[in-house]
Amino acid sequence: MGGNTQQSRYFNRELSWLEFNQRVLDEALDETNPLLERLKFFCIVSSNLDEFFEVRVAGIKQQIESGVSTRTPDGLTPTQCFKAIARRVHRMVDDQYRCWREQLAPKLASHGIRIMPVSELNPEDRAWLDAYYRAEVRPVLTPLAIDPAHPFPQLLNKSLNLIAEVTDPGMNRRRRKPRLVVVQVPSVLPRLISLPGEEGRHKYVYLGNLIGSYLADLLPQAEINGWWLFRVTRNSELYVGEKEENLLQAVETQLHRRLKGQAVRLEVQAGCPNAISDRLLKTLGLARDDLYVLDGPLNPTRLMMLAAGDHSPELRDPPFIPPVSPAVQDEPDLFTAIGKRDILLHHPYESFETVVDFLQQAAADKRVLAIKQTLYRTGGDPRIIGALMDAVRNGKQVTAVVELKARFDEANNIEWSRQLEEAGVHVVYGVVGYKIHCKVTLVVRREDDGIRRYVHLGTGNYNPTTARIYTDLGLLTCRPDVGEDATNLFNLLTGLCRFQSPRCFIVAPFELHRRTIELIQREAEHAKRGLPARIIAKMNSLVDTDVIDALYEASQAGVKIDLIVRGICCLRPGVRGLSDNITVRSIVGRFLEHSRIFWFENARQPEVYLGSADWMPRNFFRRVEIIFPVEDGRLRDRIETELLAIMLADNTKARLLQPDGSYVRAKRALGEPAINCQSEFMRLALETAASKTGKSGPQSRTLRPINRQLALESKNTPHAR
């Protein structure tokens, strides 16, 4: 996977990401998953590829056009990297659509969920569809002829279009030449049209196919020779300079340009003649490597409506309603609960409503003087935004640091940040040149013994919607050192103050890279001295070569290193003499693994850090991030013996990275129970919550052995010199 396996110390970043997307596709192929969950993974594969082309492939193509020849750490030039990407994606897309044709579509049909060709509908359905077309679809359509008087239209990014070859039967046969017509499939209409039908059976028609079947009505004077659907993906990266005087206006300007960026990919319907696809490629400035012929739906993400529909519950995962954390069950007043001791929240297994309640209580509490919060992706949730607005109305000082450049959420962030401003919230639009990616809320409260600061720190966004499907951790605390660091952080973000060395935070871009390497090197020194040394690190991506080199050196010193990396991993594990003591696993399951956890043995004095940053150059140098320690020993033990232990014991959804770049599923030892860490966390959360109310359920048969195993491994691992 990228470069020469015998020589390269690193995997290629882009190809490693594609292997992650393959693991997502593997979940769609996995017949042990419920059918609609498999469909969901099938859709996510396409959604992921869209963003990959819009950003990563677009950037590589720009490098090629600019003549950049700098090699990636694994030794590939931009041209070589693009060629490798094209080969891998074509193979992946072929596998993805074979999964659709041979598995998902037939199984959906067997359960009464069918996507029908218009030609196979019965007379009643045809009559209903004809009425729907004339009332809802035809008035919105605009056929665009392509001829000397009508140049090829500007097609918007990711829009679905139809191209038809037509001739004019009224013209002289000698002068009659085929012409092309383009019809954009309206994005304002549902891409899947649900037909009325009997209970328990669901029939749908693709909007694009409906339009194609009615072309003769739309072009009454033309003879239709054929029609084919196609889709264009464009460069969608925002380019905001560091000297912009108005960041908000600069981002808005770039958003308008995004829809018409340079084309980077063309997807066409199977059966489209080469002459048509070649014409499209030439018009868009693309080559054959950029062409993807799809024998199935051109935009599978629109099939997500089937996964979200009201179909049979047996076709999806059992519902899970996260309980309220036991730490706050007995104390509805969160300020009192936090005052007693730090609270660790594990989402989505414990309800995110605790975080919402924290904001709402702060907004209503008469003793609260000020609220400050960083906002990256909120989804515009009215309770998060509403709490900040309510706080202003209640006379509190409220500040929101909004990141306008949160990719593909820019327009939403602009819209609701203006609502915040109109309500009287002090809105700061980040820092030019850096993304504000840290997740912090600071509440300043006057109490009987003086001012006390309450802080929420998280690994994920303040987004109640994604908090139901992303795994994240949050810490609620009123420790004075944390409050002081949070105060200084907001002063840095809002007042352009100089960076002050924090008491407990580790902050990027100022020190996180250096401190991360120092923590790794400390474990290596412990190992060399014969002291217990181990690293367990969980993150989304591992790319930074300096950190990877430090991990290699620690491995050679005898440090046992377990990495849980969901996505990109450029480190090559298990190479003799280089990374013998390093294992890398990726967990892809029902929830998106998103938490970042960094555990260091430290000679039997464990240190645990949580935070918002992956080990990537962008997080170290181009974002404002924080990593924060877990000081409460009880919570540190929980992270070690519960969270990390169960994830390392997963033998169902975990895949292990091999030295050659491939991933293999974790193997279960003979007689060993199947362990799905996400299922274990759901069960554990429900059992713990039930025990607090006196309704305890059966205890886990696997939890205690896992914990004991981790404790033994972390304390008694032999270290090579």
Answer whether the bond into residue 348 is a cis peptide, omega within 30°.
yes
Alpha carbons 88 and 347: distance in angstroms, whole number: 34
Supply 259's token pair: 């829809």
Catalytic residue chosen out of the listed positions 202, 437, 513, 719: 437
Distance CA 51, CA 447 (A): 48
Half-sphere exposure in the Cβ direction for 531 (13 Å, CA):
13
8 Å CB contact between 160 and 142: no
Check residue 324 and report its DSSP letter: P
611 in Cβ contact with 628 (< 8 Å): yes
Q: What 3-state class would DSSP assign to 153?
A: coil
Burial class (CB in 10 A: 0-12, 13-18, 19+), 65: exposed
Which one-letter DSSP state was computed for residue 497?
P
Give dist(CA 254, CA 273) in Å, integer.
Answer: 36
d(CA 713, CA 296): 49
Question: On the CB side of 451, how many CA atoms lie within 13 Å of its CA?
Answer: 9
Task: Mark whether 347 is an active-site residue.
Answer: no
Structure tokens at 385: 């935004």
352, 438 contact by CB (below 8 A): no
Query: Exposed, middle or buried, 535 (CB in 10 Å: 0-12/13-18/19+)?
Result: buried
If one counts every other C-beta atom within 10 angstroms of the C-beta of residue 1, the result is 22
Give the three-state DSSP class for 518: helix
3-state DSSP of 371-383: EEEEECCCCCCHH
594: burial class by Cβ within 10 Å (0-12, 13-18, 19+)? buried
The token duo for 593 is: 């693994």
Q: What is the residue whose two structure tokens read 């030439």?
A: 282
The percent helix, strand, coil of the chain (3-state, each to 5) is 40, 20, 35
- Give the contacts of 91 (CB within 8 A, at least 6 positions apart): none
Report the distance separating Cα 4 and Cα 636, nearest Å.
Answer: 41
Distances in Å between the Cα of 446 and the Cα atoms of 286, 387, 684 are: 63, 19, 37
Q: Which residues contact 717 (CB under 8 A, 6 or more apart)?
A: 532, 533, 534, 560
Residue type, 298: L
With beta carbons less than 8 A apart as the criterion, state whether 373 and 447 touch: no
Count how many residues are written for the chain.
721
Inter-axis angle of helices 353-364 and 382-393, nearest 10: 10
For residues 682-706, one letter each, b for 16 or more C-beta atoms within 10 angstroms of the residue's C-beta and e for the rest, the string is: bbbbbbbbeebeeeeeeebeebeeb
Using alpha carbons, select from 433, 394, 430, 431 the residue that is nearest to residue 413: 430
Q: ω into residue 313 within 30 of 0, thus cis?
A: no
Residues carrying an active site annotation: 437
